Amino acid sequence: MSPAPGLPGVERGYIIPIGGAEDHVEKPVVLERFARLCGGAEAVVIIIPTASRRKEAGARYVQTFERLGVGEAVSIPLRKRADCQRTNYLDALGRATGIFLTGGSQLRLSTILGGTPIARRIRRRNAEGVHIAGTSAGAAIMPEHMIAAGKSGPTPRPAMVTLAPGLGLTNSLIIDQHFRQRDRLGRLLAAVSYNPFLIGVGLDEDTALFLGPDGVFEVVGSGVVTVVDPSALQHSSMSSAQLTDPVTLIGLTLHILTRGARYNTVTRQASLR
């Protein structure tokens, strides 16, 4: 699943994956920045709570964004695939200046939204300049390739990660969330070693990257973003390893990026503010 084709003279919207557990009240720097980017008092933020089984998930984010001063915040309850055909929900996305995917289960998101008019509309709206943010599961589903499940631990092993198709808002990254808090380095390394074309991104909680249309992202929030760049990979034992064997990876580049640091996904270069 690839991003929707760009439009002449129109910049794509930002893609903002968040590592989960973002601050809503005391220092909501990630959500504040997203709200400003979407237009502040003129913003229309559409919330998609599909990943969560909690009925209050959408309402909670409506309250948060209203408190942050957006012009309008609306939750659309896409609970089954038939909901993704409804014209009123598609029309709501057509009015959006920002779209927000809540946390929960990324497989709920992919099995309910995947291949539907709603998924196509989200990709098209991003190509038209609308900013898309997602937290936890909502972050994991953003790329073409999604980490659907896996095990914790620092050492990559083939059985540590299960992959599935994502939304396709970017085809250069693969994203893991709650990264340091849930010890997910091994499964991100395993995901990257399955296809070393992808840049692995591990997002700590209360931490996001703001990926612009130029392919450069900035780190925002209280934690760190771990970047695994396999472009100079010299050797991988993934193809010969048994499911529970550790995998040898030689030549990876690892970056640990804190607030304000930047990374160019095109040139594969990290930089300070």
Residues designated as active site: 136, 178, 205
* Main-chain dihedrals φ then ψ at residue 89, nearest 5 degrees: -75, -40
- Whether the CB-CB separation of 118 and 77 falls below 8 Å is answered with no
Largest CA distance in the chain: 55
Q: How many CB atoms lie within 10 A of CB 108?
A: 17
